Amino acid sequence: MHYAYGTEEWEKVYLEMVAKRLATASKPYIQGSPEWVATYEKMIQESQEYKEAAKGWEGTVVIHIMANPELGLEGDIYQLLDLWHGECRSVRLVPREVGEKADYILSGELERWEAVVAGDLDTTKAMMQGKIKLKGDLATIVRYVKASALLTEIAARIETKFLSQLSEGEREQYRKEASELRAEVGF
Amino acid sequence: MRYGRDLSFIYNNPTRIIFGEKVVREVGMEVDSLGGSRALVVTDQGVVAAGLAETVQKALGRRYAGTFAGGIQDSGLHIVNEGAAYAREVGADVLVSVGGGSTIDTAKGMAVLLKEGGRLQDYAGYQLLSRPQTPHIAIPTTAGTGSEVTYAAIIKDWENSAKILFCDSQIIPNVAILDPLLTRGLPPQLTATTGMDALTHAVEAIHSTEREPLADAMALHAIRLIMAYLPRCVERGEDLQARGQQQLAATMAGIAFNNTQVALVHAMAHSVGALFHVPHGLANSILLPHVIAYNLEDCADRYALIAQAMGVAAPGESDEEAGSAVAEAVWALTQKMGVPQRLRETGVPWEGLEAAAHRSLSDGSIIYNPKPIATAEEILSVYYNAW
């Protein structure tokens, strides 16, 4: 039985789970895994350039990666970025019901997000072409286009292993762990 | 430059385009082709008064389900809601918009509500729809906006004084009917300013950060047609050949920017439009040469292409010189057509420019400008020059 997102218990369980995985998982981390997300959080928090570019930004952003069972992703992933005036307060994997309430939601197929993180797909172009969908107030987000681009650039700097690169054995292991996480923390 | 990230593109132009004198008669058959049987005409009172809605009504014959003539210059959520409710009431399964860009945008919004239900503002954003919407045939009565072939609609939230932008490939009209007879009644000033809107679309498509060769081809030929035929349309409104070629130019420029986006000229024009009610085409017309001058150091090679299309390129000149020639040619064109060349002539106060500059920073078009813009001061310098 998992705890409700937003409660102290949930946060405690989440952080313990991340710490445990960071201690044991081998690099490069799999895109969207708790250890990858924790690395992403740390890198955003350490970026002076991001702090400067996102000075006035208020609002939560969700990166929504759509399920792709064939590649091992049985359910959708929602990465919630809690961003406030240049600070990255946290990046968490959250349940769907939480992710869908974010101020801005960027949705796309797994292969699109793999291309973004690999540095092969520009998010602005991807939105224009319908490869990534954006829900939210465009007028606000365009004021912070540099900050948005930096978030993408930071993700591209993470040494990443993509789901499409996993062997069948690794994929099976990923499925098993993802199922356990769903039971433990609800995503 | 890499193919994956920088040079790759998707060219999308799904609209069936029907062009020619009296082709408005084809509208009934197009309704049939779309599988519809009850077509609602979406229009405005001006188009009704000009008798153009009635022409379409007759052409629809037995398929005519009614007319919603609630279109206004800045269409609003309440108008789209009202139109969709009426469409449901009369059992419409196809929308036929007859009018300018705002009317076509109204029909795009109605098409979404008829298919998806709910509130239109829930679909604000980029590419949120996942299935075809209610079939839509667009019959433009101006030659400038290109809305008949684009994936964008701007609908105003009058309660909150905000413009909501919808960008979705699913709202591109299925059919565009371009009949020069429908634009010959446009007064000279409106012909000139809507025509300059088309020229701005073409130039911005070429200098946009998302530029690509197929859109370039559309935009460059649109420029050739505009330079040749727009002044003729203004001088002799009855010249159907000129009217038709200008219509094609506007649609081609629309196809171009639908694939590459517009940039700083539009961001700035939207702002003075919202704050001081400067008509969109006129604002674009005034700002265009100033933005070209501003962008020149970042994309002179693009303006050199435009100079060739405009017929103002001189042998042996540099790209920068060609870019300056483009700005000069735009001024010469507007002067010839009697279009105001200064923002101060349109009622924009000097002290209002700062607010306009700040507002422009929130306009979606700005991110596609070839010269990156980070501060309102950069925009303000362009406004000052244009004032």
Cβ A120–B4 below 8 Å, yes or no?
A: yes
Residues B216 and B359 grouped into a single domain: yes
pLDDT in tens, B331-379: 999 999 999 999 999 999 999 999 999 999 988 899 999 999 989 999 9
Q: Which of residues 11-70 of B touch A (CB under 8 A)?
A: 12
Residues B296 and B176 grouped into a single domain: no
Predicted confidence (pLDDT) at residue B165 exceeds the cutoff of 90: no
3-state secondary structure chain A: CCCCCCCHHHHHHHHHHHHHHHHHCCCCEECCCHHHHHHHHHHHHHCHHHHHHCCCCEEEEEEEEECEHHHCECCCEEEEEEEECCEEEEEEEECHHHHCCCCEEEEEEHHHHHHHHCCCCCHHHHHHCCCEEEECCHHHHHHHHHHHHHHHHHHHHCCEECHHHCCHHHHHHHHHHHHHHHHHHCC
pLDDT in tens, B233-289: 999 999 999 999 999 999 999 999 999 999 999 999 999 998 999 999 999 999 999
% of chain B residues with pLDDT over 90: 89
Residues B195 and B315 grouped into a single domain: yes
Predicted confidence (pLDDT) at residue A1 exceeds the cutoff of 60: no
Cβ B126–A142 below 8 Å, yes or no?
A: no
Predicted confidence (pLDDT) at residue A121 exceeds the cutoff of 60: yes
Residues B162 and B210 grouped into a single domain: no
Domain boundary at B148, B182, B216, which? B182
What gap in Å lies between CA B212 and CA B76, rounded to an integer? 33
Q: Which two tokens stand for residue B5?
A: 């990230």
Q: What pLDDT was estimated at residue B2?
A: 67
Residues B90 and B144 grouped into a single domain: yes
Predicted confidence (pLDDT) at residue B189 exceeds the cutoff of 90: yes
Q: Report helix angle B101-116 to B77-89, nearest 10.
A: 60
Predicted confidence (pLDDT) at residue B219 exceeds the cutoff of 70: yes
Q: How many domains does chain B have?
A: 2
Closest residue in B to A129 (Cα) is: B10
Q: Which two tokens stand for residue B16?
A: 């069936």
Residues B243 and B341 grouped into a single domain: yes
What gap in Å lies between CA B109 and CA B95, rounded to an integer? 11
Predicted confidence (pLDDT) at residue A108 exceeds the cutoff of 80: yes
Residue B10 in any domain: the answer is: no
Residues B197 and B173 grouped into a single domain: no
A51: left (phi over 0), alpha (psi -120 to 50) or beta: alpha
Q: Yes or no: is domain A8-185 CATH 3.30.1050.10?
A: yes
What gap in Å lies between CA B357 and CA B208, rounded to an integer? 20
Sequence-ordered list of residues with C-beta below 8 angstroms from that of B281, at least 6 positions apart, any chain:
B144, B193, B194, B195, B196, B197, B200
The more confident residue out of A186 and B213 is B213
pLDDT in tens, B89-99: 999 999 999 99
What gap in Å lies between CA B98 and CA B96, rounded to an integer? 6
pLDDT in tens, B1-38: 666 667 889 999 999 999 999 999 999 999 999 999 99
Q: Is residue A187 within 8 Å of residue A76, measured between CB atoms? A: no
What gap in Å lies between CA A140 and CA A8, rounded to an integer? 31
Place of tokens 């998707």: B10
Chain B residues touching residue A59 (CB < 8 angstroms): none
Domain boundary at B137, B158, B182, which? B182
| Candidate from B12, B162, B367 with C-beta closest to A124 | B367
Interface test with A, best of B7, B11, B120, B127 (most A CBs within 10 A): B127
Residues B195 and B178 grouped into a single domain: no
Residues B214 and B262 grouped into a single domain: yes
Residues B77 and B196 grouped into a single domain: no
C-alpha distances out from residue A142 to B267, B284, B360, B374, Å:
11, 20, 10, 11
Residues B272 and B165 grouped into a single domain: no
Range of the domain at B339: 188-386
Q: Is residue B136 within 8 Å of residue B83, measured between CB atoms? A: no
3-state secondary structure chain B: CCHHHHHCCCCCCCCEEEECCCHHHHHHHHHHHCCCCCEEEEEEHHHHHCCHHHHHHHHHHHHEEEEEEEECCCCEHHHHHHHHHHHHHCCCCEEEEEECHHHHHHHHHHHHHHHHCCCHHHHCEECCCCCCCCCEEEEECCCCCCHHHCCEEEEEECCCCEEEEEECHHHCCCEEEECHHHCCCCCHHHHHHHHHHHHHHHHHHHHCCCCCHHHHHHHHHHHHHHHHHHHHHHHCCCCHHHHHHHHHHHHHHHHHHHHHCCCHHHHHHHHHHHHHCCCHHHHHHHHHHHHHHHHHHHHHHHHHHHHHHHCCCCCCCCHHHHHHHHHHHHHHHHHHHCCCCCHHHHCCCHHHHHHHHHHHCCCHHHHHCCCCCCCHHHHHHHHHHHC
Q: Is residue B134 within 8 Å of residue B93, measured between CB atoms? A: yes
Task: Report the DSSP pairing between strands B94-99 and B125-126.
Answer: unpaired
Residues B208 and B168 grouped into a single domain: no
Lowest mean pLDDT, pick from A103-112, A129-138, B33-42: A129-138
| Candidate from B9, B125, B361 with C-beta closest to A138 | B125
C-alpha distances out from residue A133 to B81, B155, B197, Å:
24, 19, 28
CATH code for position B234: 1.20.1090.10
- Is the Cβ of A121 closer than 8 Å to some Cβ of chain B? yes
The more confident residue out of A2 and A30 is A30
Q: How many CB atoms lie within 10 A of CB A27?
A: 11
Q: Is residue A52 within 8 Å of residue A86, measured between CB atoms? A: yes
Q: How many CB atoms lie within 10 A of CB B25?
A: 14
Q: How far is B263 from chain A (nearest CA, A)?
A: 12
Residue B1 in any domain: the answer is: no
Chain A residues touching residue B361 (CB < 8 angstroms): 142-143
Predicted confidence (pLDDT) at residue A47 exceeds the cutoff of 70: yes
CATH code for position B29: 3.40.50.1970
Residue type, B18: I
Q: Which of residues 270-329 of B touch A (CB under 8 A)?
A: none
Q: What pLDDT was estimated at residue B3?
A: 67
If you average pLDDT over every residue of chain B, what do you get?
Answer: 95
Chain A residues touching residue B5 (CB < 8 angstroms): 119-122, 125
A135: left (phi over 0), alpha (psi -120 to 50) or beta: beta
